[in-house]
Structures are given as C-alpha cells and as structure tokens.
Amino acid sequence: MKKYLKEYTENLSVIILLFYILGFCYQFCYYQYFDIEIQYYISLTDIIFTSIGNLVTSLIIFLFIEVLILVPADFFTAYLFRYKSYNKYETKSYKIKFRLDRFKDYLISKNRKYYSFTLTVLFFFVGAFVFDDSIYFYSILIINFLYHLYQLIEPKEGVLDIKMKRNITSISLLIVLLLSYSYWGHTDASNLKKEYTSKIITFGDISTDNNIYKYIGETSGYYFVLNSKTDDVLIANKEGIETAKVQPNRFRENEKKQVEKQMNEFFEKINYYLHINNR
C-alpha cells in the first residue's frame, strides 16, 4: 500500500496534468460542435472539475465492466470444476472438500487473466452487433481491453523489460483516453438536439423549459444556450445577469428513473440466476 501511495505522490503533478488534458479535450470537442471557442471562456478550475466528473464516471463504468467479466469467468471455472467431479465431490469428507475447494480457487486465480481477456475480446465482437454506436462502445471497452492485455503479457525478468511494458501501456492508455474523451465530447454534443435539456435555466427573456432553447453547458463565468430552431448559440455573461433560476428538467429526471429501474431489474435477474445455480 505504501508503495502505491509513494508512486502516486511522486507522480501527482503528472496526474493533475492528465486531468487538465483530458478535461480540456472533452470540453473542446463538446463546444467545438457548436462552433464555440471554449478556450476563451473557460478557466483551469472549470477544466479540472469537468475532468474529475468524467474520470469518476469512467472509473465506475470500468469497474462495472470488470464485474461483468470476472463473475462469469469465475463462475465458469467453478462450475466446470464441480461438474467434472460432482459425484465424487459429494462423497468426500470435509477435509478433502476443503482441499478441493482450495484447488478450485487456485484454478480460478491462475486462469482468471486468460478467461477475462477472452471475454473482453468476445465483448468486442458482440458489441458490434448489439450496440448502434459501436465506436462509442469500443471507446469504453478499450480501457478494459488494455488492462487485461497488460496482465496477460509477462515480460522477461529485468528492470528494463518491466519498465518498457509499463511505459508502452501508459502511452497506449494515454492515446486511448485522449481519443475516447474527444469522441465522447463530440457525441454528447451531437445528442443534445435529440434529448431534453438537462437543466431549466431562466434569465431575462430566455428560458430552456420549452425545449426550443436548450441548455448546452456553463463555466464559472458564462451560460451557453442553443436555439434549436436556428442553431444560434447565446453566450450569456453571468456577471451581467441579475437573477437566474436553475432547476432540473423533470422530463430528464423521469428518463433517469426509467434507466435506474431497468438496471435494478437487470441486477435482480442476475442475483436470481446466481441464487438458483448455487443451490
């Protein structure tokens, strides 16, 4: 643990710089879709907060995919082991069962990286047929792919070989993150016209509650509002606004609740399936 903390502390400036670069890439591509030169309206604080939010989301997605990959891999190994020796297993004593279970755990830990990598590659092929925007799916899954590829490759013993593996992986990950965040920014901007505005903002004669004016985003000093009929963008300086009313869009909130409901139903089905198979 101390080793990892030391590495993070020593590379803290590099990590902060990475936050700035990824945050700016996303915001630049997002606002560039509306022909907004965001570099003239944004501060370093805006960039870091946007980057942290995106990175936390990426981390949650990464961990979610890891669960989807590891659980089937471990379940398949355990099931195969039990299936091959089911009758013999049930007749063994407690001590032998304990040893067999430890051997099963050993098989899982030893083969996990191979099963995980195989499932990740399988997800790549399946995603091309399941998702409409396969590029968006690949841009998310590629991070998990690099992670499992890193675990799979075993360099020769030696400091140079280990450093080379780490450097190549780090550079590859940086390139993938830059491309992914740029693509996500452009895609989120292009989807704005199809969706309800995320916030209802009212100031002066402008209000985004009618879905004609759509909330694009904001920085610490400006609001950005799109006229969906003319494609004109209004840039409002917050200092020149006396009062502004901001509230969540109830239609957007209902969409989020529907997605949460579908996800809960999905996880309930998985738990039910695992419970049935563990009997």
pLDDT of residue 28: 92
pLDDT of residue 273: 53
- 1: pLDDT confidence band, cut at 50, 70 and 90? very low
- Helix runs in the chain, H state only: 2-10, 12-32, 44-84, 86-91, 94-130, 134-152, 159-190, 250-277
Q: Which of 45-54, 154-163, 185-194, 230-239 has the lowest mean pLDDT?
A: 154-163
pLDDT of residue 62: 78
Flag whether pLDDT at 125 surpasses 60: yes
- 4: pLDDT confidence band, cut at 50, 70 and 90? very low
The Cα 206–Cα 134 span in angstroms is 37
Once rounded to an integer, what is the mean pLDDT over residues 140-169?
71
The Cα 279–Cα 272 span in angstroms is 11
The per-residue pLDDT for range 209-259, each reduced to its tens digit, is 777 888 888 888 888 988 888 888 888 888 887 777 777 666 555 555 565
- Range among 122-131, 152-161, 173-182 with highest mean pLDDT value: 173-182
Contacts of 145 (CB under 8 A, 6+ apart): 120, 121, 124
Largest interatomic CA distance in the chain? 81
Higher pLDDT, 109 or 83: 109
Report which of 223, 258, 16, 222 is spatially closest to residue 213, judged by C-alpha positions.
223
Report which of 149, 79, 134, 129 is spatially closest to residue 108, judged by C-alpha positions.
79
